[in-house]
Amino acid sequence: ATPTSIMVGTGRAAELGILFRKGEALQSLRDADVVALDKTGTLTKGRPELTDLVAAEGFEADEVLFLVASLETLSEHPIAEAIVSAAKSKGIATAAVNGFEATPGFGVSGLVSGRQVLVGADRALATNGIDVSGFSTEAERLGASGKSPLYAAIDGRLAAIIAVSDPVKETTPQAIRSLHELGLKVAMITGDNRRTAEAIARKLGIDEVVAEVLPEGKVEAIRKLRQGGRSVAFIGDGINDAPALAEADVGIAVGTGTDIAIESADVVLMSGDLNGVAKAIALSKATILNIK
Ligand code: ADP
Ligand code: MG
């Protein structure tokens, strides 16, 4: 494309709320074969709610919620907010935490009211030698309905399975249909549970799922999607997404996301509406056509 056609294309995009931080991105977008999307905060609202808490034998649900919510007051993860506000709405006050530790992609731990509390993904409990298989039926049921299962352990014993649900943005289904209409493959990359991710993907008609990816594993996920010479556009919002946004052939940040994601991206969608992606791709194709 000529510099003038790029200016016209990016100018038109700006009117649609799509900001091109690099002019070349208009050309690389045209060549994209796969659009990979982060799940939490990109496909979904990023504001999960606690939906289930099933206590294990010998534990009481409200006490588990009290201990877990106390711990989560020190975490900034959206899951933590869901757990803290669930306790609040039940009138459960939180207590102080000692020795708080957060392990990104796994979970959090610390001492609350003299008890050692751990909450996180199944792999976080496995790392601490705690078997969660007693809840496998529950986990399967929750995952199949698109909820994310978490586990709590108290003093080294499995205490509860907890589920959070993060609603899909109203605009997401149409955005995925539009990408398919443009002939693109759509993939999801997430740190969440595989079963949960697959249930959400199936509902949305997403073609490929890369789940249970650790925060530092998103770059590797992009490289995998690129196999066979495919060009990959990646869309994300979080701090964890920044390296993948830089690695992708085109990095697209959701404008409602973190500054680090925006700074690592080639394109920024000013709103959280993913329909901007298909619009940007359609525009990139039209711009190149115009100057032929
Ligand atoms: P995601 O975008 O899927 O939330 P993360 O890498 O942030 O990806 O987290 C991966 C998983 O680790 C979460 O789905 C959750 O199971 C667990 N986890 C991380 N932080 C917390 C926390 N503060 N409380 C409970 N679980 C957590
Ligand atoms: Mg996210």
- Domain parsing of the chain, residue ranges: 3-45+168-290, 49-165
Residue 7 has pLDDT above 80, yes or no: no
CATH T-level fold of 3-45+168-290: Rossmann fold (3.40.50)
**Burial of residue 99 (number of CB atoms within 10 Å: 0-12, 13-18, 19+):** exposed
Residue 291 has pLDDT above 70, yes or no: no
Lowest-confidence range among 14-28, 128-142, 187-201, 213-227? 14-28
Cβ(123) to ligand 1 under 6 A?
no
**Alpha carbon nearest to ligand 1 atom 9, residue:** 105
- How far is Cα 118 from Cα 108, in angstroms, rounded to an integer? 6
Residue 251 has pLDDT above 80, yes or no: yes
Pocket test for ligand 1, best of 43, 79, 210, 235 (most atoms within 8 A of CB): 79
The pLDDT-based confidence of 278 (bands split at 50, 70, 90) is: very high
What distance in angstroms lies between residue 27's CA and the mean position of ligand 1's atoms? 35
Domain 49-165: give its CATH code.
3.40.1110.10
The pLDDT-based confidence of 6 (bands split at 50, 70, 90) is: confident
Cβ(109) to ligand 1 under 6 A?
no
- How far is Cα 1 from Cα 30, in angstroms, rounded to an integer? 11
Residue 265 has pLDDT above 90, yes or no: yes
* Active-site hit among 33, 38, 122, 207: 38
Residue 184 has pLDDT above 90, yes or no: yes
